[in-house]
Structure 1
């Protein structure tokens, strides 16, 4: 396995935010606030091409996007969590964990008790989609894959990424 090291004139860039698409932004804000303690930053905004055609979002997305709600939350380490509710056209919902698709497919949360968080997810309309594993192979860490009520995958580790990477046998 090869490793790539940044050139001396480059720097590691921090993760800024992640965006998810759900059919109900308000419910998602409430759920992630209750489940993971994410905090809403400002109001949820409703953007319509008919009312505000000059909105920057319409410079980014194709002309088929006509209406969207957008909420912004903060995670525990300052990373943003952006929630999109596509109203027109409506979003398409995956029906199962599509690990084989290309691109981003999960976020990972650090929590000292993955079992307790998994139980909390299940009690609140989320679900467990994997068994608990020890990615280190040495009894040091716990990892579980969960899904929120909209099918977005949330991995839970009981150690930070650097510790897991150093201990991992994968």
Structure 2
């Protein structure tokens, strides 16, 4: 087994109850920039083939999503799960056995980190070989630009594996399926 490269953090994601307030605070207080000056509102009824629905499964019907840029190029992704709504408190993470991602994503607070790697499929295999688990399917989140796979480390933490930079992915057409 080869030694992995020192992989960069691609972005950090946070689940919130009020995306407008959170993006305003991070802009005003920390100087993060809202990429494209917009918050996406994605509904399964309007965009059933959107990649997010392949990742989060049948239980997700509506979500708001904002991409923010930080000063060092690490992205800050803000989610507000609308339907179903978030839990009051995040449920205990599953570290073995049944994988509870479809209910856990509804908890507020940080819920995954993302690393960039040229071959997310191979990296996912290394994660599994190292005691982790896959989450959902490998998906192409932007035509010709980005593939991602979600995995879980052996302690239950969710990590997204992405083959493109955060800014490249966030500026592509990533929220609508075809």
Taking structure 1 as the reference length, what is the TM-score of the superposition?
Answer: 0.50
Name the structure 2 match of 1:41. 35
Match of 1:83 among 78, 82, 86: 78
Match of 2:87 among 80, 87, 92: 92
Distance in 2, Cα, partners of 1:89 & 1:11: 38
Match of 1:25 among 19, 22, 34: 19
Q: More strand by proportion, 1 or 2?
A: 2
Structure-to-structure mapping, 1:1-170, within 5 angstroms = 7=3, 10-42=4-36, 43-94=38-89
Q: Secondary structure at the match of 1:54?
A: coil
The runs of 5 or more residues in structure 1 that have no matched partner are: 1-5, 107-170
Taking structure 2 as the reference length, what is the TM-score of the superposition?
Answer: 0.48
Deviation >6 Å, runs of 4+:
100-106
Give the deviation of 1:101 after TM superposition.
Answer: 6.9
Distance in 2, Cα, partners of 1:105 & 1:72: 15
Paired residues, number: 97
Name the larger-Rg structure.
Answer: 1
Higher relative contact order (CA 8 A, sep 6+): 2
The runs of 5 or more residues in structure 2 that have no matched partner are: 96-108, 112-178
Name the structure 2 match of 1:138. none
